[in-house]
Amino acid sequence: DAKTTQPPSMDCAEGRAANLPCNHSTISGNEYVYWYRQIHSQGPQYIIHGLKNNETNEMASLIITEDRKSSTLILPHATLRDTAVYYCIVRALNTGGFKTIFGAGTRLFVKA
């Protein structure tokens, strides 16, 4: 699976949009971009995933560049409860035994 690079930490003001970048310059054509987050002392939570089109759900939006070498997760109106570690993962669906390997992630601090 392709490697991802994320900033180690970011701050965001409550109520503002949080934009979390991810670089995945070695992504393959069959690899999807997944985002998970982990709130302290809990298991990771799925947020969103996409292949090449931008995606939106009730939690977030995912913007993938045309060359697919990077993406941005957008939390449109961050709240204090969005403080967590956010993991960007690229993974093909049917290779490698479906293993999901986590990188270091971005620690997002939402401040009042």
Using CB under 8 A as the binding rule, the residues of this chain from 64 to 93 that contact another protein are 85, 87, 93
Q: Which amino acid is at 112?
A: A
Q: Which residues of 70-101 are buried (b: 16+ CB within 10 A; e: fewer)?
A: bbbbbbeebeeebbbbbbbbbbeeeeeeeeee
DSSP state of 104: -
34 in contact with another protein (CB under 8 A):
yes
Which segment (10-18, 62-70, 73-81, 99-107) binds another protein by CB under 8 A? 99-107
Q: How far is the CB of 15 from another protein (least distance, A)?
A: 26
Q: How far is the CB of 70 from another protein (least distance, A)?
A: 20
CA 3 from chain centre, in angstroms, equals 13
Task: Name the residues that contact another protein, by CB under 8 A.
Answer: 32, 34, 36, 38, 41-46, 49, 85, 87, 93-94, 97-105
